[in-house]
Amino acid sequence: MFQRLHFPICVLVAGIGISLSPFVLRAQNDNYHGRKYKTPPPSAHIEVTVLRDANGKPIENAHVIFHPTQGDRDTGSLELKTNDDGKAIIDVIPIGDTVTLQVIANGYQTYGQSYKIDKPELTMEIRMKRPGGQYSIYKNPGDNSGAGSGSGSSGSSPNATPPSSSSGNQSNPNQPQPK
């Protein structure tokens, strides 16, 4: 019986406490305004298609690397791989940034180019080429065209012969004299 009389009083006190608790908690910390939410900048939808230059077929599992920069500040790099259709899609690069795009695929030359992201949608088609010949200032040892001919130098190629003299008795200071 004692419990039946106290139950309505307990409910009344609990109700008053719950209804006044926001005012009591608010009075304790007036300087708290919560975390300010900063909306992210609008981002562009970028679709990169990687194709073979020779036949136009897609290259799958090519590495597509984005190096975005805001002003003079590098903001890191983002790497994707192309799917079966040779496409890589990214939606997180803010409009207004400059991005350096790098594409690496096995058996092809590395591609690199900088782009200004100024539209909400951007589509790029990259044609990958096979590696070309190596550029060199040196000639092949078996190639006699131009290497050492007419310059008077001996020993520049394995097939070169020393210049001959018209007189057999002329002495060469670099060669040992027979006794």
Q: Of 99, 144, 122, 126, which Cα lies nearest the Cα of 47?
A: 122
Beta-strand (E) ranges in 37-128? 43-52, 63-70, 73-74, 78-81, 87-94, 98-104, 111-116, 121-128
pTM: 0.56
DSSP labels for 105-156? -TTS--EEEEEE--SSEEEEEEEE----PPP-SSPPTT--SSSSTTS---SS
For the 49-127 domain, the top CATH level (class) is mainly beta
Gap between the Cα atoms of 90 and 123, Å rounded? 11
List the chain domain ranges. 49-127
- Token pair 């994707």 in the structure block, residue: 80
* Residue type for position 85: D
User: What tokens appear for 8 in the block?
Assistant: 């309505």
Rounded to 5 degrees, what angle do the CA atoms 161, 163, 166 make? 135
Element (H, E) at 4: helix 2-28
DSSP code at position 169? T
pLDDT, one tens digit per residue, over 31-47 is 666 778 888 889 999 99
pLDDT at 31: 64
pLDDT, one tens digit per residue, over 95-154 is 988 999 999 999 999 999 999 999 999 999 999 999 988 778 887 766 555 444 444 444
